A and B are shown apart, each in its own frame.
Chain A
Amino acid sequence: MRKLPKEPRLAKRRKQLNRSGAGNALSFTFLALLGLAMLFPFVYAINNAFKPLNELFIYPPKLFVQHPTSDNFTQLFTLMSESSVAFTRYIYNTLFITVTGTFGHVIFASLAGFVLSKYEFPGRKAIFTVVTTSLMFISQITGIINYITISQLGILDTAFAVILPAFGSSMGVFLMKQFVDSMIPNPVLESAQVDGAGLLRIFWKIVMPMVKPAWITLIIFDIQALWNIDGGIYLISEQNKTLSYALSQITASGISRTGVASAASVIIMTVPIITFIISQSNVVETMAASGIKE
């Protein structure tokens, strides 16, 4: 309760109507309880990851670990080293897909978003309308035809089978265009043009530094999408599979691997969550521009 903002100060700073003190306390309690409920699976997974075998199968089960151990992680690494393909291979594959996919998508999407936002040319409006509509084309709808396209392109079972579709995702261009719209005033670009700067130079030296929150956001969203990718039907041979796939294989073998499974999911979730925590203020700033205007 101590954490509640003092009512008079808030009221003075904002002209918005505020909740009463009681209302504020009530809503804080509600949010805190809901927050705890949302966190429950995380707490459960993290505790399970550190439980020794006898605690995992104790009856009745206890949520919190009594004697934490790193056994599950050790066992996970042992299992990893026993797999038919060296485990570093899976890590390399995931890193390659995440880094290449993110880098390429951020550059291509930023460039496209900038051009769509600031230049007048035939087809500009139509392209952006299609981009906005396509936010709804979920991968489940496009995925099956993409399998055919990818095999016809001869890139099936290579990292590019998942990287190229990521380049074509519309969310990045949409967010970048909206952000450039709201953040970069035309006079800045005009004066640069007068100084003789070319298109790419303006993009790289002026626009990109000004839209840092937007490309940080794209990086975060790309990491969230690509880090967890399991390759599905696109990556077939074992040496091309990803970390997410390998971990799910290790943990798929039933109840005896409960602890190991938790350890694996803890490892895999840390990357997207930590990168989001570090950059959350940039992401929120970018999302302010995300609205779809009519």
Chain B
Amino acid sequence: MKKITKASTGKQIKKSWRLYLCLLPFLSCFFLFTIFPVIRSVIYSFCYYNVLQPAKFVGLQNYKNLLINDDVFVKACINTVVFAVFTGPVGYLLSIMLAWMINDFRHTVRTILVIIFYAPSISGQLFVIWQLIFSGDSQGYANVILTRLGIINEPIQWLTDPKYMMTICIIVALWMSLGPGFLSFVAGFQGVDRGIYEAAAIDGITNRYQELWFITLPAIKPQMMFGAVMSITSAFGSAVVLQTLCGFPSTDYAAHTIVTHLQDYGTIRFDMGYACAISSILFLVMVLLNKYIQKMLRGVGQ
């Protein structure tokens, strides 16, 4: 039995050579630059590797150093969690809520709102403007307003005082968080089949919130899954905001994240094995988190 299936699979592969050829340009770049790096990271994470000399196997040494001896890494983990908890779930709920609210308006109003909300996520380096708004001198916009309102007497060092750095960066990250996930929700809400609302009304759905939970959200569950993936990537990826606004290294490492730590070892110190251990951990966290969130999303509408 097994032999026959094998042979037929072989035959099928031979028969589909044209299809594989069509996939080849994408697949070769995809494996080389997206899949392969992850595999190679995991392998190097067990090695000492400085790019110049061949990699040397060191077992769990990198992980041991990382988790036991590296205080900055612990700090980076805490910062990453704080940043990700606020920007991830909050950004996600914000995307759904805004898309849902927008959905009730006329086409033109809806289009304008979508453009306004989406624009920050594609405006590139524009977020450095926040550096001027929250600039630490008395000229900074935020400081001027607060001084004039009599709330503060002297300028606050928004981006160098560890008390405020994280909050400001979370605000900026949320400002930029309405990306592809948000568009997906907007499109999802528009695409919900109107017929099921009628059926729901007959079944006794009486208010908008019941309707949202039992009808609309289950209907856009695929978009919610996609949005979750986008939120996870941006919650961990947008650490660049922290780095740009607060500088590197930041005061007391208050804006130091796992990604910053990774870049420090990978592109400055060229301790690749160590950097790869960091990225393997980050990768593992993201994948597990995604698994967990997908499981949670299955419970929507029940």
Contacts and interface: CB of A to CB of B under 8 A. Distances in A.
Contacts of A131: 30
B66 to A, nearest CB: 15
A280 interface: yes
A64 B223 CA distance: 40
A194 interface: no
A248 to B, nearest CB: 6
B9 A136 contact: no
Interface in B267-302: 267, 272, 275-276, 279, 282-283, 286-287, 290, 294, 298
A292 to B, nearest CB: 4
Given A115-B19, A292-B229, A272 B124 contact: yes
Interface string A129-162: 0110111111111111111110000000000000
Contacts of B186: 284, 287
Contact of B37 (A44, A149, A221, A224): A149
B33 A165 contact: yes
Given A15-B197, A112-B22, A144-B279, A60 B98 contact: no
Contacts of A141: 37-38, 41, 262, 279, 282-283
A60 B148 contact: yes
Contact of B141 (A61, A136, A284, A292): A61
A121 B205 CA distance: 45
B236 A288 contact: no
Contact of A121 (B12, B126, B259): B12
B223 A44 contact: no
A291 B132 contact: no
Interface string A96-129: 0000000010001101101110010110000100
Contact of A35 (B104, B106, B116, B195): B116
B122 to A, nearest CB: 4
Interface in B24-78: 25-38, 40-41, 44, 51
B130 to A, nearest CB: 6
A116 B20 CA distance: 10
A272 B123 contact: yes
Contact of A291 (B40, B116, B122, B221): B221
Chain B interface, DSSP helix/strand/loop, else mixed = helix
Nearest to B116: A35
A212 interface: no
Contact of A15 (B44, B194, B294): B194
A35 B111 CA distance: 12
A100 to B, nearest CB: 13
Nearest to A116: B23
B301 to A, nearest CB: 14
A196 interface: no
A145 B276 contact: yes
A127 B28 CA distance: 12
Interface residues of B, number: 107
B250 interface: no
A92 interface: no
B91 interface: no
A193 B44 CA distance: 48
Q: Please tell me the size bucket of the interface on A.
A: 35 or more
Nearest to A228: B124
Contacts of A61: 139, 141, 144
A147 B123 contact: no
B183 interface: yes
A284 B133 contact: no
Contacts of A164: 29, 32-33
Interface in A5-57: 5, 10, 14-19, 24, 27-28, 30-31, 34-35, 38-42, 44-45, 48, 57
Interface of B: 9, 12-13, 16, 18-20, 22-23, 25-38, 40-41, 44, 51, 98, 101-102, 104-106, 109, 111, 113-120, 122-130, 132-133, 138-139, 141, 144, 148, 175, 180, 183-184, 186-188, 190-191, 194-195, 197-198, 201, 205, 207-208, 211, 220-226, 229-230, 232-233, 236-237, 239, 259, 262-263, 266-267, 272, 275-276, 279, 282-283, 286-287, 290, 294, 298
21 contacts: A28-B105, A30-B101, A31-B113, A59-B144, A61-B144, A108-B26, A109-B26, A134-B35, A135-B233, A136-B233, A138-B237, A140-B259, A148-B40, A168-B26, A169-B30, A171-B180, A199-B19, A262-B129, A265-B123, A287-B223, A290-B226
Name the 8 nearest CB pairs between A and B, nearest first.
A291-B222, A168-B29, A145-B37, A288-B187, A144-B266, A121-B16, A228-B124, A292-B225
Given A119-B19, A170-B34, 12 more contacts: A31-B101, A137-B34, A143-B266, A144-B279, A149-B32, A149-B37, A164-B33, A168-B28, A168-B32, A168-B34, A232-B267, A276-B115
